[in-house]
């Protein structure tokens, strides 16, 4: 019994050490800037970066002269297609985590382990009506050229409607789609957000497995 207890103690200590190293690495990696010289322009296209405390997404105007997302993410795919949607939030994550965990209380250890070691990718598209900026939904202004690069990066992971499978979302306003890519600890949903921003020349962190590593580069709205 003592050997078992000692073994469990060593295992617990090893897991705790790994967790500490992961958190330290996430803090350091997310603090190293990509596109460090980038400055937010005075005018341009306003996007938003959102977080639910675990996951981040990029919220964009549904229609601009640069891109009309309605062909890629049609409202007809939604449970409530008739609302006057103005924005679409796009994010990427692991298939089973997305589909099997409508709330984080539903996350099972086996699902989390599978995601951490390698799972299939899935796109999440949530449609909003005039989303209000706040602490968890922060405005980021980019130039038209940067927005065009952002759009091009996201388009690379949007399969044509006839070549993808659709999955019901969590509500009447969102939906999931098949998407390329393999999810793992080094390529998480939050890393997808920062990689997408970085590809457009926008300042963000190098390694951002946690949402705070993304949000730290987007200033919260000024308090009135």
Coil/strand/helix, residue 85: coil
- The reported pLDDT for the residue numbered 112 is 59
- The reported pLDDT for the residue numbered 104 is 55
End-to-end Cα distance, the chain: 61
Task: State pLDDT tens for residues 46-97.
Answer: 999 999 988 999 999 999 999 999 999 999 999 999 999 999 999 999 888 8
- Overall residue count recorded for the chain in this entry: 224
Task: State pLDDT tens for residues 136-179.
Answer: 999 999 999 999 999 999 999 999 888 899 999 999 999 999 99
Q: How many CB atoms lie within 10 A of CB 217?
A: 22
Given a cut of 90, whether residue 15 has pLDDT beyond it is no
For residue 190, is it within any domain? yes
Task: State pLDDT tens for residues 84-114.
Answer: 999 999 999 988 887 876 555 555 665 555 6
For residue 27, is it within any domain? no
Domain span at residue 67 reads 32-215
CB 182 within 8 A of CB 121: yes
For residue 220, is it within any domain? no
Given a cut of 80, whether residue 22 has pLDDT beyond it is no
Given a cut of 80, whether residue 18 has pLDDT beyond it is no
For residue 53, is it within any domain? yes
Coil/strand/helix, residue 56: strand
For residue 94, is it within any domain? yes
For residue 91, is it within any domain? yes
Q: Which of 156, 197, 166 is nearest to 48 (CA)?
A: 197
CB 193 within 8 A of CB 58: yes
H/E element, 221: none
Given a cut of 50, whether residue 224 has pLDDT beyond it is no
Number of domains present in the structure of the chain: 1
For residue 128, is it within any domain? yes
Q: Is the Cα torsion angle 32, 36, 41, 46 positive or negative in sign? A: negative
Interval 18-39 mean pLDDT:
83
* 192-to-106, 209, 211 alpha-carbon distances in Å: 23, 9, 11
Largest CA distance in the chain: 70
User: Mean pLDDT over all residues of the chain?
Assistant: 87
Given a cut of 50, whether residue 192 has pLDDT beyond it is yes
For residue 123, is it within any domain? yes
Q: How many helices (H) and strands (E) does the chain have?
A: 6, 9
């Amino acid at each position: 019994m003592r050997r078992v207890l000692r073994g469990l103690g060593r295992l617990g200590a090893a897991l705790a050490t790994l967790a500490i190293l992961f958190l330290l690495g996430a803090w350091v990696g997310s603090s190293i800037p990509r596109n460090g010289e980038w400055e937010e322009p005075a005018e341009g296209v306003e996007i938003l970066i959102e977080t639910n405390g675990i996951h981040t997404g990029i919220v964009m105007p549904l229609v601009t002269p640069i891109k009309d997302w309605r062909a890629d993410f049609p409202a007809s795919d939604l449970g409530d297609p008739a609302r006057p949607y103005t924005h679409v939030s796009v994010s990427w994550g692991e298939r089973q985590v997305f589909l099997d965990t409508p709330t984080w209380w539903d996350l099972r250890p086996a699902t989390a382990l599978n995601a951490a070691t390698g799972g299939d990718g899935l796109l999440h598209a949530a449609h909003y009506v005039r989303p209000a900026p706040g602490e968890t939904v922060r405005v980021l202004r980019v130039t038209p050229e940067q927005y065009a690069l952002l759009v091009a990066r996201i388009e690379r992971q949007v399969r044509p409607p006839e070549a993808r499978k659709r999955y019901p979302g969590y509500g009447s306003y969102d939906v999931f789609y098949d998407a390329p890519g393999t999810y793992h600890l080094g390529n998480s949903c939050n890393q997808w957000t920062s990689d997408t921003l970085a590809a457009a020349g926008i300042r963000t962190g190098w390694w951002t497995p946690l949402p705070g590593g993304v949000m730290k580069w987007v200033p919260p709205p000024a308090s009135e």
